[in-house]
Amino acid sequence: MAPPIIAAYDPLLEDRAPVELALLFGELTGTPVLAGAVHSGAVHSPALELLRGDTGVQSRSIVDVSVPRALHDLARRQGSGLIVVGSTRRGRAGRVMPGSTTERVLHGAECAVALAPNGYRRRPIETVAVGFVDTPEGRAALGAAHELARRAGARLRAISVLHPSGELDAALANGTPPEKAHLLQGHHRAAHQEALDRAVAALPPGVEIDAELHVADAAETLIAISEHVDVLVCGSRGYGPIRSILLGGVSRRLVDGAHCPVLVLPRGIERPLGDLLGPTTLTATR
């Protein structure tokens, strides 16, 4: 049997959002779901038995004072490629907002982590979006999003975002004449578009893809787009430990306000969802 997707489940809060999202990924990938219920002492809760009866997922009750440590250890022992966690109930319904426990699960996770919005319930995936940057992490994220879209029969929106003034301000600050600075900014935009088009062209056929270059703030753009898609994929920042998640400035803001589930991938892995997706013809640009 394939290694399971780990869904964090708190039997005291009875928050099923992570299980619902895990089951959605399980349906797309043919992967079983294991609900991990972590608590600091012996707890008997009918909620866990009810969850098994309603969904058919297997569960594991773990006694540990640290929920993140227990979930990381469980995923490592099971060989899991994905941990699914929920949002704090202090956030607005339908929005992603990690609490302190979820943030610690994200930090340093050795496999992909998906965040379910507050109150999330399964629904068909019609559109997958991915934040693209021309780095190994960005190309891996694009490949994973493409494969998810293919399996769901969904549309893929590949989003590259160029800050409207960063390069221009830097050029002007260095004493570059305004006319030349604007020309350099135009070249920079063309390079972003070329990199996005090249990466999209390298993907296998079978998925309808919209390649979009936005000139705006990256986090604000992706959060706005998250209102109109069903899953948003992003990579870790491009430095830090290999095979681990380390949020950058954009991904950190994204997991604090997206309107849809967010899938965060670890860095340094060519196929970060390989344990879930199995063999594929997917290729990435180098």
Query: Which superfamily, per CATH, for 1-123?
Result: HUPs (3.40.50.620)
**Predicted pLDDT at 48:** 86
Domain 126-235+247-256+272-286 in the same topology as domain 1-123: yes
CB 105 within 8 A of CB 82: no
**What residue spans define the domains of the chain?**
1-123, 126-235+247-256+272-286
- Count Cα neighbours of 219 within 13 Å in the Cβ-side half-sphere: 11
Classify residue 4 by its DSSP letter. Answer: P
**Predicted pLDDT at 55:** 93
The DSSP element (H or E) to which 38 belongs, if any, is strand 33-39
**Predicted pLDDT at 11:** 81
SS3 sequence of 173-234 = HCCCCHHHHHHHHHHHHHHHHHHHHHHHHCCCCCCCEEEEEEECCHHHHHHHHHHHCCEEEE
**Predicted pLDDT at 177:** 54
Dihedral over Cα of 26, 255, 110, 86: its sign:
negative
> What 3-state DSSP class applies to 213?
strand
Q: Hey, what amino acid is at 244?
A: S
**Predicted pLDDT at 146:** 96
**Predicted pLDDT at 285:** 32
Q: Whole-angstrom Cα distance, residue 141 to residue 133?
A: 9
Q: Whole-angstrom Cα distance, residue 169 to residue 70?
A: 46
Q: Whole-angstrom Cα distance, residue 132 to residue 196?
A: 7
Burial (CB < 10 A; 0-12, 13-18, 19+), residue 193, is middle
Strand 155-162 relative to strand 5-8: parallel, antiparallel, unpaired? unpaired
**Architecture of the domain delimited by 126-235+247-256+272-286:** 3-Layer(aba) Sandwich (3.40)
Which residues contact residue 51 at a Cβ distance below 8 angstroms, ignoring those fewer than 6 apart?
9, 11, 16, 19, 35, 57, 59
Residues 253-266 as b/e (b if ≥16 CB within 10 A, e otherwise) read: bbbbbbbbbbbbbb
Q: Whole-angstrom Cα distance, residue 16 to residue 9?
A: 7
Tens digit of pLDDT at every position of the chain (286 positions): 689 999 999 888 889 999 999 999 999 999 999 999 998 776 667 888 899 999 999 999 998 989 999 999 999 999 999 999 999 876 566 678 778 888 888 887 888 999 999 999 999 999 999 999 998 888 989 999 999 999 999 999 999 998 776 554 544 445 555 555 445 556 778 888 999 999 999 999 999 999 999 988 888 999 999 999 999 999 876 444 444 455 567 777 888 889 999 999 887 666 667 667 655 433 333 2
